[in-house]
Amino acid sequence: MELSGSASVGLWRAVAADDEVRRVGIGLDHVDDDWAEVPVPGHWRSTEEFRTSDGPLLYRHRFEQDRPEAGRRRFVTLDGVFYQADVWLDGAYLGDPEGYFFPHSFDITGLSRLATEHVLAVEVACAPQRQRTAKRNITGVFQHSDTLDQDWNPGGLWAPVHIEETGAVRIDRLRVLCRDANDSRAHLRIHARLDSDTTRTITLRTTVGAQSSGKAVVVEHSRSLAGGMNEVDWNLDVKNPDLWWPWSLGAQPLTDVTVEVLTERDTAHESTISDTRTVRTGLRETAMQDWVISVNGERLFSKGADLAPTRAALAEATPAEVRRDIEFARDAGLDLVRVQGHIGRPELYAAADELGMMVWQDFPLQWGYTRTIRRQAVRQAREAVDLLGHHPSIVLWCAHNDPAPTPGAGADAAGTSIVSNIVRQQLPGWNRSILDRWVKRAFEAADETRPVIAHSGVAPHLPTGRGTDSHLSFGWHHGSLNDLDGFAASLPQMTEFVSEFGAQSVPNTADFMHPQDWPNLNWASLARHHGLQLEPMTRHVPPADYDTFDSWRTATQRYQAEVLRHYIETLRRLKYRPTGGFCFTALNDPSPAVSWGVLDHERQPKLAYQAVTEACHPVIVVAERMRSQLVAGEAIALDVHVISDLRIPLDDVLCTGKLRWPGGGHEWQWSGSVPPDSCVRVGTVQFVVPSVPGALWFDLTLEHADAAATNRYAANVTDGAGVTAG
């Protein structure tokens, strides 16, 4: 443990906490040689002694430090605690922090002056959330998810613990928000929480940009502070800013904003820097109307994915691993990630800023919670803005993921039909009707610069017919994949933004499934510990139909690829009429799982990753989906569309459609122009299904000097009785 923000990284001592340990284990004189060693940062389940523990644990760490000089103050900060703690220094009680994703600081100036040898004791609790419809911990997916091990406990000091020293006034929180921006001016709203040792007048110096560049903006102003915590707000304009853009629209210039607190020293009226804080931000303006996101006044159709934690053991994710997920998203042609049901590591948001990836940020509420958490949720929402508000990549706050009362997770939560889900959500519920509105207001009060939604996955309510984004399960929990088109036509408001859809598949790295035991896998263990939803999997890709594990795995991946491809093509065909974008479930797996991720826990791409990449190309040519089984002699009509996300028009586009079957075929051609950022119906294919055995293919090509695209659809021809025609 060192001064000036250096992290305490290494081994601490820990033991299961009980009343006797609490009584004797917090003091300096206690001998802890027989306590287990645990890593900090880390999770206690990563240590053999606590591999199955649900805590609480008492952590101890001994350190030596010189006494602070006169006029200097000293603080201990816990950067991340899963989930609650009690903190002592040398046996003196400091406080009881709650909340996993933001720092907790305590003034230890007085105690630091008494001695040079110290012991920091932290009792950490992360109670299992066994009453799943009335959870108490605001930990989101880490303690209630259909992909993580149901028995996983993330408890521990998962981020560094450090001691910092300041002058008389400390910057406890710094919030930097860009309210609006254009080519001539960017307007910053800055908020600081300042901890002063006594009543005094200070000078705040704000610097935007590097002074060495000669273009830095430096502003100073004075403020009077009371002793204790002070909330201070001020504004700053930056002329002729370099605007930050999503990667598909432009560049991502970033700039540092540094705030210094200057205090007068003695009677000479000389100023000294008491504390300083720097955040990196981007200057841009974001908005959303009818679920269409715009950045700097430029709208875009959002192609996105739900992002799970990099790892279930968040502390063990490396910066390179965190960044790699954002790189995978960008390589797939996505411009949005929805950080689903959790707040991630700091490196995630830095990578999104640098790579131009927009972020939909969920607050870590998922499914049902008890009434007692409302005040804590409101406080933590403000902390989320303080922690992350300066990141230009964040374009939307969401207070709660899927708050409707549910009997459980996964397939149980989905219900038996989409209709029953919509009907169930017409009933009032405390989470949806009260908790979510309080959290939404907290976000809006702390951040006026971004859109905020109260919840995700709430169906339209009567009589207004308005809801939020939709979670759809055609092709998995509800009906078949072919039901999507009719549903979108009959309830277009349910497709304004679809933020969850997909299917599960078996990963390439599947040793955890013990494939050598095929077909007698431990299905119950795979469901409880590795996310498998056996009932829908058995309906869509029955294991009994496959002789080998590898053939079944390939079939699950092909099915997942087809589901995602059809959803994405359908939603892109509805571009702005009414769809503003989508997020499929999901980009990544946080642990070994049979899951929705298109990248497994070792980031090996499944077949669906390539399907997503092809469906998300800037220019695609698509047709309405043919059924997998066609009846000989029936008449078919398929509309053909070209979708372009490019900001330039495409003139003299040539589209060709070729229908092929054994021994025959037919061809169509269309030509014309495609406006920028648009979807155009270029023609209709009409044909009678031939009476021939085997498969039928429909191939599409698009040719243009600045773009090219291909697509293929396939079906089997039957005689109407379910057997191949011939």
The domain limits of the chain are 7-163, 169-281, 287-412+427-457+499-616, 623-718
Sequence-separated (6 or more) residues with CB below 8 Å from residue 725: 632, 691, 692, 693, 717, 718, 719
Over residues 272-311, the pLDDT tens digits come to: 999 999 999 999 999 999 999 999 999 999 999 999 999 9
Res 264: pLDDT: 81
Res 3: pLDDT: 37
Average pLDDT of span 652-678: 95
| Same fold across 287-412+427-457+499-616 and 623-718 | no
Is the pLDDT at 471 greater than 70? The verdict is yes
Is the pLDDT at 5 greater than 50? The verdict is no
CATH topology of domain 287-412+427-457+499-616: TIM Barrel (3.20.20)
Three-state secondary-structure class, residue 159:
coil
Q: Is the peptide bond before 103 cis (omega within 30 degrees of 0)?
A: no
Say how far apart CA 36 and CA 107 lie, in whole Å: 28
Res 724: pLDDT: 52
Residue 88's alpha-carbon distances to 14, 28, 157, in angstroms, are 14, 10, 15
Over residues 398-415, the pLDDT tens digits come to: 999 999 744 334 444 444
Is the pLDDT at 168 greater than 90? The verdict is yes
Res 706: pLDDT: 87
Residue found under tokens 């899963």: 82
Three-state secondary-structure class, residue 393:
coil
Three-state secondary-structure class, residue 677:
coil
Complete edge-to-edge strand list for the sheet that includes strand 695-704: 629-631, 707-718, 695-704, 650-661, 664-674
Residue found under tokens 């350190």: 63
Average pLDDT of span 703-708: 92
Residue 681's pLDDT band, with cuts at 50, 70 and 90, is very high
Classify domain 169-281 at the CATH superfamily level: Immunoglobulins (2.60.40.10)
Res 417: pLDDT: 65
> E strands of 82-147, at which residues?
84-89, 92-95, 104-107, 117-125
Residue found under tokens 């890709």: 541
> E strands of 266-392, at which residues?
270-281, 286-289, 292-295, 298-300, 302-307, 336-339, 358-362
Q: How large is the C-alpha radius of gyration of the chain?
A: 28
Is the pLDDT at 640 greater than 70? The verdict is yes
Alpha helices in 432-586 (DSSP H): 436-446, 483-490, 523-530, 534-540, 549-573
Beta bridge mates, 187: 180, 237
**Domain 7-163 coded CATH 2.60.120.260:** yes
CATH topology of domain 623-718: Immunoglobulin-like (2.60.40)
Length of the chain: 726
Over residues 9-37, the pLDDT tens digits come to: 579 999 999 999 999 999 999 999 999 99
